[in-house]
Amino acid sequence: CGALRMAAEFLRLCETDTTVWVSAPTWANHLPLLGGAGLTIREYSYLNPKTLEVDFSSMQETLETAEAGDVVLLHGCCHNPSGADLSLEQWKEVTSLIQRKGLLPLVDMAYQGLGEGLEADAAGVRHLAAAVPEMMIAASCSKNFGLYRERTGALALISGTASVNSAATSQLLGIIRSHYSMPPAHGAAIVETILGDDGLRAQWQDELDGMCKRILHLRHAFADTLAPVGDFRFIARQRGMFSFLGISPEQVARLRTEHGIYLLDSSRVNVAGLNDQVLPRVADAMNDVLQ
Ligand SMILES: Cc1ncc(COP(=O)(O)O)c(C=O)c1O
């Protein structure tokens, strides 16, 4: 959150009327984090509400209307709230569009390692970073290091020259000073200790891998258990913690009040909050509310 807000404050300092394009839908906090800094927010089509998959041609169509210098916010992996990610082929096409139109990518990377793995989850972002002249990446350690309340993450800037980077960094440090002055140290020290030690790093990767596999397993098991209720195979194709079930707020309310199953009114579920034991019960409840 700090990286996103500082990126937004920086963009606003560089150009007072900056437009940032966000996916429809996007993580709800993107709107206050970016809009609160004074950026104009516009939406690009992303999720097809019927299939709950990426509507890539609509995404391209809306981004074609962006103007040079506009910022495009992309979810690095594990799109929140939909779980619907771009394929590597689609990342390549978005990269070409960004290059051709002179847009500035801002990547929010909040779930690296929880989609398919640390490397695979970064493939699209790496492709983009190798191709564009400038880019910003807001990375979080909240989930992949289990450090949610320690405010640990980073804003990375990529630019063509070292002098632009150092000028941008000094502007950013000024912005940070006028907001929170100093970031908390302890979470970052934990991450530094783990990444700086081969043994601890391997142990962390192993544990993260276990979490990733658990979520992937649950995605398949959830879709399979729901098969008699309806076609939920998209859940198995999606990545990360979240997916929409595609049911109405009234049906969500019935899951809550009649079955004690909790999800957002938008029908976004946290797949990681399930386990094999509760899946049949969830499927029965879904069957009931969908009647
Ligand atoms: C897409 C997205 N970006 C950023 C964040 C925030 O990360 P942090 O806890 O590091 O502020 C979240 C977490 O909830 C998120 O889902």
CA distance 40 to 18: 6
Residue 291's pLDDT is 87
* Strand-pair category, 71-75 with 104-109: parallel
Q: Does residue 140's CB lie within 6 angstroms of at least one atom of ligand 1?
A: yes
Ligand 1 centre to CA of 277 (Å) is 29
Nearest protein Cα to ligand 1, atom 13: 110
The model's pLDDT over 105-151, given as tens digits with 9 standing for 90+, comes to 999 999 999 999 999 999 999 999 999 999 999 999 999 999 999 99
Count Cβ atoms within 10 A of the Cβ of residue 202 and give its class: 0-12 exposed, 13-18 middle, 19 or more buried. Answer: exposed
Q: 236 pLDDT band (50/70/90 cuts)?
A: very high
Q: Give me the phi and psi of 69, to 5 degrees please.
A: 95, -15
For the chain, give every residue range classified as CATH 3.90.1150.10. 199-290
Residue 78 CA: nearest ligand 1 atom is: 1
Ligand 1 centre to CA of 7 (Å) is 14
Tokens representing 26 are 């996007």
CA distance 7 to 66: 19
Report the b/e string of 232-250 with b at 16+ CB within 10 A.
bebbeebbbbbbbbbbeee
For the chain, strand residue ranges (E) read 19-24, 40-45, 71-75, 104-109, 135-140, 153-158, 242-244, 268-270
The model's pLDDT over 14-62, given as tens digits with 9 standing for 90+, comes to 999 999 999 999 999 999 999 999 999 999 999 999 999 999 999 999 9
For the domain spanning 199-290, the CATH number is 3.90.1150.10
Residue 25's pLDDT is 97
Q: Does residue 108's CB lie within 6 angstroms of at least one atom of ligand 1?
A: yes
Q: Which candidate in 3, 21, 27, 70 is catalytic?
A: 27
- Give yes or no: 108 in active site: yes
CA distance 6 to 142: 17
Q: Does residue 270's CB lie within 6 angstroms of at least one atom of ligand 1?
A: no
Q: Residue 248 above 90 pLDDT? A: yes
* Four-way CATH pick for 2-192: 3.30.1280.10, 3.30.750.24, 1.10.3720.10, 3.40.640.10: 3.40.640.10
CA distance 277 to 139: 34
Tokens representing 69 are 């210098």
For the chain, give every residue range classified as CATH 3.40.640.10. 2-192
CA distance 194 to 109: 19
- Outline where 17-140 has alpha helix (H): 30-35, 56-64, 88-101, 118-121, 123-131
